[in-house]
Amino acid sequence: MSEAKSLRVFMTGVGGQGTLTATKLLAQAVLSQGLPVTAGEIHGMAQRGGVVESTLCLGVLSPRIGFGEADVLLGFEPIETLRALPYLKAGGIILSSDEFIAPMAVALGREQGPDLQEIKAKASACAGTVRFFSIRSMGKSCGAVQSGNIALLGALCASGLLPFGPEVLEATIRATMKPKVAEGNVKALTLGVEAFQTQ
Amino acid sequence: MGHPLLADAPGRIELLLGNEAIVRGALEAGVQVVTCYPGTPSSEVPDTFFRLSPEGDFSFEYSTNEKVAFEVAAGATLAGAMTLVTMKHVGLNVAADPLMTLAYLGAPGGLVVLSADDPGCHSSQNEQDNRAYARLAGIPCFEPSTAQEAKDMTRAALLFSREHGLPVMLRTTTRVNHLRGPVTFGPFMPKTKPAGVPKDPRHFVPVPVFARPMHLDLMAKMARARTQVETSPFNKEYGSGPHGVLAVGINRSYLADALAESGLEAEFSVLELGFSFPLPEERLTAFMRGKKSLLVLEELEPILETEVRALAQKAGLSLLIQGKDLACLPRHGEYSGRMVTEALYAALGRTAPTPVHCAGTEGLPVRPPNLCAGCPHRAAYFAVRQVYGDEATYSSDIGCYTLGLLPPLRMADFLVCMGSSVSAGCGASRAAGQKVVAFIGDSTFFHSGMTGLANAVYNRHDILLVILDNKTTAMTGHQPHPGVEKTALGDNPARIDIEAVVKALGVTQFRKVNPLNLKATTKALEELKGMSGVRVLLTEEPCPLFARRVMAVKKPMTAYIPDPCDDCGQCLDTLACPAFSKKDGRVEIDELSCSGCMFCLQVCDRIKARKRSA
Ligand code: SF4
Ligand code: SF4
């Protein structure tokens, strides 16, 4: 199982968003294709609104991604996309949410966060491809905000970067989730695929 | 359908978390008794066993602390059961006493202790290197680096332990506990019924006259273990370059990737140690012989490095050995692929090319961990701050409530370790006459707060201890403890009442409140403040996440601010529930985030309650 081309995906989001569920699902999809996969997570006190970073690596052993090593940056929240930019290799690909989840200090009006324009400009300045999607809205329209993460995975599948297409992820969703939950997530997946193709 | 981890399906491949792989490995070896005290990054091991326990053929318990967990495990292995005991690295400090002496007594049924270390302090108060404990106790040590190895080594460690009658350490690090990878299942080993502890005090009661030969016995067992480590399949060599690299744990993965991606493979020969202690001295010496240099890759302390330096000296080898003296290999924190790449170049006297990456952005708003919306700890802290302000010194402990350290609550001035709130608080109060308020959670109280409280009463200290009872072990993932009413698997049939324990320990100045009732809490605090000696305030209210998920509690109301309020921001400045926000000068409450605790209504009368809209 070790001859596949290496691919490193760095994922980042906010606790409670479902970042880890998305990571696990993607890893399961890779494994279902018989490809070598390692995923990394750091569980801590994430339930309390901290940053959650995770990784998915194909064709390498280490689950860690250092600065300049990620081929793809999946940002489930735009400030976190900006924070994680150094992990991306120059010319890499960014797929990100454009809907903010305000950090406490911003929510309390004590600090000001970056705006979307700044984030997009900084992302475009160093990445090869940059795409932003309103994944939380997509998720909501499918029944759960968290499904927005699956929409972003849909965009990733549609990008052609993975050694498989959205149908493999769909099969994994159906195989691992309860039918009702799976339905919403498959819908979100399709929305993500379409959004990538039409943007 | 049973749980996939219980499937008798050799050859099946499953995607597992490192910690789940450890569970599978133990099941394959035929584990019979599992004990633990939960703690990140080890917690998914016991939590998985807990979930499997109704179906599985093993005994499982959440013990009250690591020492107790280790002792229950010790008795079990002496009685002939194959036993696993799990904890985080600092937990092994608590269990160090039984560890040291069980090494003398031995582990007839087999015993593996999982020590989940945390280089980088992802979720710990220190980053101690517990490989030192394997050396101190004189027991073998395995260090996996992938999910497959986590499974294979747990299995092998248990079988090795039983075969040699030696306790064995399985030492992981956060990256390994929390990685996911494919794991190919093996077969289940047959189990033998434990025969019970034999009547053989010469071997099992370490009075001095018996302890001395036991120590010799331990050394003889380790010598036999060493011969097996020399040829262990978990220790592998690859490459045929002139420079040597010795790597353990997750560094083996960093190394393999770094070699493949840097194109330096031809320069190096690698020796990986998966079964890392006792040292395979002959193999290491043979590996070093003829090499131009040796690079040692190990996180934290230079343990192996020091040992191979001694070996080289013994064998009269003069090769250059490098490790922690390289600037790119620090003695603190984690290693990474990048650090290993730099070290490889440094070993060749070259400089690694700098990777090109996107620039970072300074000064982004951070997301510090915070007490959840509706957390009863916030309410209790709010009341304490109202009554004591900055007049008291706040002695904290380990749990979600440590987060009370953040402003505006600022309810933690010092913290040493699990259970220290009361005892260290006593010390501070006696030494400098400070007014001390100590905070401890329910699980931590049972872990090691009770002994401190007994000491406080006996030695007539002057302290107010607030026991924040949220009916679960919240921080590590809602595990049960002796005081809980409910667990994820149902009611707790043998509940121990904290109030009764406190009173039985001789505390007479006692109050109990629901912290979500501000008036009652403040009143109790004021009364206690007027007294001296040992005083206890017990605050009882379940963690809202636990209440929702496990106790099926529904809170139908949410807080809102009917406009116009005067936007003074008092609620933000003093309570700072994360459901609050300020947009364009207006204070708002986010209905989705609000858990409906109704505490803020008592803080500001402009805040009102209404039915949740969805
Ligand atoms: S998990 Fe529970 S106890 Fe911990 S901060 Fe959240 S509400 Fe409070
Ligand atoms: S009722 Fe008030 S304090 Fe409680 S969770 Fe809602 S907003 Fe926060």
Place of tokens 């998305």: A22
Over range B339-365, report the average pLDDT.
94
B156-179, pLDDT tens digit by residue? 999 999 999 999 999 999 999 999
Structure confidence at residue A47 (pLDDT):
57
Name the band, by pLDDT with cuts 50, 70 and 90, for residue A15.
Answer: confident
- Rounded to 5, what percent of chain B is helix, strand, coil? 40, 20, 40
User: Two tokens at B210?
Assistant: 């018996």
B257–A63 C-beta distance less than 8 A = no
pLDDT in tens, A48-85: 678 999 999 999 999 999 999 999 999 999 999 999 99
pLDDT in tens, A131-189: 999 999 999 999 988 899 999 999 999 999 999 999 999 999 999 999 999 999 999 99
- Torsion angle defined by CA atoms of residues B470, B471, B477 and B480, in that order, rounded to the nearest 10 degrees: 160
Whether the per-residue pLDDT at B345 is higher than 80: the answer is yes
Cβ-based contacts of B257 with chain A (< 8 Å): 60-62
| Candidate from B541, B600, B610 with most ligand 2 atoms within 8 A of CB, to mutate | B600
When pLDDT is cut at 50, 70 and 90, the band that residue A18 belongs to is confident
Which band of pLDDT confidence, cut at 50, 70 and 90, is reported for residue B240? very high
The pLDDT-based confidence of A109 (bands split at 50, 70, 90) is confident
pLDDT of residue B196 exceeding 80, the answer is yes
- Whether residues B585 and A109 touch (CB distance < 8 A) is answered with yes
pLDDT digits (tens, 9 = 90+) for B520-537: 999 999 999 999 999 999
Q: For ligand 2, what atom is nearest to the CA of residue B559?
A: 1
Which chain A residues are Cβ-neighbours of B361 within 8 angstroms?
A: 82-83, 85, 114, 122
pLDDT of A2 reads 41
Q: Hey, what are B273's tokens?
A: 């140690």
Return the percent helix, strand and coil in chain A, to nearest 5. Answer: 45, 20, 35
Read off the pLDDT of each residue in B360-385 and give the average, rounded to a whole number: 94
Q: Write out residues with Cβ below 6 Å of ligand 1.
A: A 47-48; B 371-372, 375, 377, 400, 470, 474, 543-545
- Chain B partners within 8 Å of A85 (Cβ): 358-361
Residues with Cβ < 8 Å from B231, sequence gap 6 or more? none
For residue B587, the distance in angstroms to the closest alpha carbon of chain A comes to 8
> Per residue in B537-561, is it b (16+ CB within 10 Å) or e — as a string?
bbbbbbbbbbbeebeeeeeeebbbb
Give the tokens for residue B564. 């116009």
Continuous segment of H or E residues that includes residue A132: strand A129-133
Are residues B185 and B11 in contact, defined by beta-carbon separation less than 8 angstroms? Answer: yes
d(CA A135, CA B195): 60
CA-nearest residue for atom 2, ligand 1, is: B543
Closest atom of ligand 1 to B370 CA is: 5
Confidence of residue A45 (pLDDT cuts 50, 70, 90): low
- Helix ranges (DSSP H) in B165-207: 174-177, 201-204
Of B572, B578, B583, the CB nearest to A49: B578
Flag if B257 and A61 touch (Cβ within 8 Å).
Answer: yes
What residue ranges do the domains of chain A occupy?
Answer: 7-101+115-198
> Could you give phi then psi for residue B608, rounded to 5 degrees?
-125, 170
Name the amino acid, one letter, at B207.
Answer: V
Name the residue at shortest CA distance from atom 7 of ligand 1. Answer: B375
Q: List, in order, residues 6 or more apart from B507 with CB less than 8 Å away.
A: B453, B457, B534, B535, B536
Distance from CA of B356 to the nearest CA of A (A): 6
Does the pLDDT of residue A110 top 90, yes or no?
no
CA of B572: which chain A residue's CA is closest? A108
Distance B304 CA to ligand 1 centre (A): 41
Which of B185-194, B293-302, B582-591 is predicted least confidently?
Answer: B582-591
CB contact under 8 A, A108 and B580: yes
pTM > 0.90: yes or no: yes
Q: Which amino acid is at B468?
A: L
Which of B558, B593, B597, B603 has most ligand 2 atoms within 8 Å of CB, for mutation? B597
> In B441-567, which residue ranges form alpha helices assigned H by DSSP?
442-444, 450-458, 498-504, 518-529, 544-549
Query: How far, in Å, CA of B547 to CA of A125, rounded?
Result: 47
What's the rounded mean pLDDT across residues B81-98? 98
B103 vs B239: CA distance, rounded Å: 37
The CA distance from B190 to B582, in Å, is 63
Which of B319, B17, B338 is CA-nearest to residue B147?
B17
What pLDDT does B27 receive?
A: 98
Q: What is the DSSP string of B476-512?
A: TT-B--TT-SEETTEE-TT---HHHHHHHTT--EEEE
Token pair belonging to B518:
């501000």
> pLDDT tens-digit profile of B380-389?
999 999 999 9
| Residues facing A75 on adjacent strands | A12, A96
Tell me what the mean pLDDT of segment B132-149 comes to. Answer: 98
Q: With contact defined as beta carbons under 8 Å apart, do A93 and A128 qualify?
A: yes
According to CATH, what is the number of the domain A7-101+115-198? Answer: 3.40.920.10
Which residue out of B378, B406, B543 has the highest number of ligand 1 atoms within 8 Å of its CB and is therefore the one to mutate? B543
Is residue B416 pLDDT above 70, yes or no? yes
Is the model's pLDDT at B420 over the cut of 70?
yes
Nearest CA-CA distance, residue A111 and chain B, Å: 7
- State the smallest CA–CA distance between residue B191 and chain A in angstroms: 32
- Give how far the C-alpha of residue A193 lies from the chain's centroid of Cα atoms, to the nearest Å: 13
pLDDT averaged over every residue in chain B: 96
CB atoms within 10 A of CB B343: 25
The tokens for A55 are 């990784």
The distance of B571 to chain A (nearest Cα, Å) reads: 11
| 3-state SS class at B298 | coil
The pLDDT assigned to A1 comes to 38
- Going from the Cα of A99 to the center of ligand 1, the distance in angstroms, rounded, reads 26
Phi, psi of B12 (to 5 degrees): -65, 145
Q: What is the mean pLDDT of residues B55-77?
A: 97
| Burial classification of residue A62, based on how many CB atoms lie within 10 Å of its CB (0-12 exposed, 13-18 middle, 19 or more buried) | buried
Q: What whole-number distance in Å separates Cα of residue B412 and Cα of residue B20?
A: 35
Task: Write out the H or E segment, with its range, that includes residue A22.
Answer: helix A19-32
Mutate to test the interface with A, among B13, B254, B357 (most CBs of A within 10 A): B357
Q: Read off the pLDDT of each residue in B68-91 and give the average, rounded to a whole number.
A: 98
Nearest ligand 2 atom to alpha carbon B577: 8
* CB pair distance less than 8 Å for A24 and B180: yes
Q: Best mutation site among B178, B180, B272, B586 for testing chain A: the one with the most A CBs within 10 Å?
A: B180
Identity at B263, one-letter amino acid code: G
Q: Which of A38, A69, A87 sits opposite B181 (nearest CB)?
A: A38
User: Quick one: average pLDDT of B46-75?
Assistant: 97
Percent of chain B with pLDDT over 90: 94
Planar angle of CA B439, B445, B448, nearest 5 degrees = 110
Question: How many angstroms separate the CA atoms of B83 and B154, rounded?
Answer: 11
Do the beta carbons of residue A74 and residue A152 sit within 8 Å?
yes
Q: Is the CB of B599 under 6 A from ligand 2?
A: yes
Cβ contact, residue pair B180, A126, below 8 Å: no
Please name which of A150, A154, A130, A131 lies closest in space to residue A17, comparing C-alpha atoms: A150
Which uninterrupted H or E stretch holds B467?
strand B463-469
pLDDT number for residue A46: 46
Helical axes B208-230 vs B96-105, angle rounded to 10°: 80
In this complex, which of A41, A66, A82 lies closest to B336 when CB atoms are compared?
A66
pLDDT exceeds 70 at position B268? yes
- Structure confidence at residue A44 (pLDDT): 58
Across the interface, whether the CB atoms of B364 and A109 are under 8 A apart is answered no
- Say if CB B550 and CB B487 are below 8 A apart: yes
Determine the distance separating the centroid of ligand 2 and the alpha carbon of B469, expressed in angstroms. 19
Closest residue in chain B to residue A51, using alpha carbons only: B367
The rounded distance, in Å, linking the Cα atoms of B606 and B567 is: 10
- Please state the atom number of ligand 2 nearest to the C-alpha of residue B378: 3
Which is more confident, B359 or A182? A182
Gap from CA of B376 to ligand 1 centroid (Å): 8
Residue B31's SS3 state is: coil
Strand order in the sheet with B59-62: B59-62, B33-36, B83-88, B111-117, B167-173, B141-142, B275-277
Dihedral class, residue A66 (left if φ above 0, else alpha if ψ from -120 to 50, else beta)? beta
Provide, as residue numbers in chain A, all residues whose Cβ is less than 8 Å from the Cβ of B473: none
Task: Please give the number of the atom of ligand 2 that sits closest to the Cα of B590.
Answer: 7
Q: Are A49 and B127 in contact (CB under 8 A)?
A: no
**Phi/psi class of residue B579: alpha, beta or left (left: φ > 0; alpha: ψ in -120 to 50)?**
alpha
pLDDT band for B414, please (50, 70, 90 cuts): very high
- pLDDT given at position B284: 98
Minimum CA distance residue for ligand 2 atom 6: B594
Burial degree of B48 (CB within 10 A; 0-12, 13-18, 19+): buried
Q: How far apart are CA B439 and CA B420, in angstroms?
A: 10
Q: What is the ipTM score, two decimals?
A: 0.95
SS3 assignment, position B420: helix
Is B471's pLDDT higher than 70? Answer: yes
Residue B282, classified by CB atoms within 10 Å of its CB into exposed (0-12), middle (13-18) or buried (19+), is middle
Give the closest-approach CA distance of B498 to chain A in angstroms.
26
Separation of alpha carbons B86 and B92, rounded Å: 9
> Residue A4, Cβ neighbours under 10 Å: how many?
16
